A and B are shown apart, each in its own frame.
Chain A
Amino acid sequence: GEDVEQSLFLSVREGDSSVINCTYTDSSSTYLYWYKQEPGAGLQLLTYIFSNMDMKQDQRLTVLLNKKDKHLSLRIADTQTGDSAIYFCAELPYNNNDMRFGAGTRLTVKP
Chain B
Amino acid sequence: EAGVVQSPRYKIIEKKQPVAFWCNPISGHNTLYWYLQNLGQGPELLIRYENEEAVDDSQLPKDRFSAERLKGVDSTLKIQPAELGDSAVYLCASSPNSGTGGGELFFGEGSRLTVL
Contacts and interface: CB of A to CB of B under 8 A. Distances in A.
Interface of A: 2, 4, 8, 30-31, 40-45, 48, 50, 88, 90, 92, 97-99, 101-104
A contact face: mostly helix, strand, loop, or mixed:
loop
Given A98-B48, A102-B42, A104-B40, 13 more contacts: A2-B42, A30-B100, A31-B100, A31-B101, A31-B102, A42-B91, A42-B110, A43-B43, A45-B106, A101-B42, A103-B40, A103-B41, A104-B41
Contacts of B104: 45, 48
A99 B45 contact: yes
B14 interface: no
Interface string B51-72: 0000110000000000000000
A103 B42 contact: yes
Most buried by A among B4, B40, B43: B43
18 contacts: A2-B41, A2-B42, A4-B42, A31-B100, A31-B101, A42-B107, A43-B93, A43-B105, A43-B107, A45-B104, A97-B48, A97-B56, A99-B45, A101-B44, A102-B42, A104-B40, A104-B41, A104-B42
Instruction: List the 10 closest A-B pairs by CB distance, nearest first.
Output: A101-B42, A42-B107, A97-B99, A43-B107, A45-B104, A42-B109, A103-B41, A101-B43, A97-B98, A42-B108
A96 to B, nearest CB: 9
Contacts of B56: 97-98
Contact of A88 (B42, B55, B108): B42
A99 B102 contact: no
A2 to B, nearest CB: 7
B31 to A, nearest CB: 8
Contacts of B42: 2, 4, 88, 90, 101-104
A97 B93 CA distance: 13
Given A97-B100, A99-B99, A45 B105 contact: yes
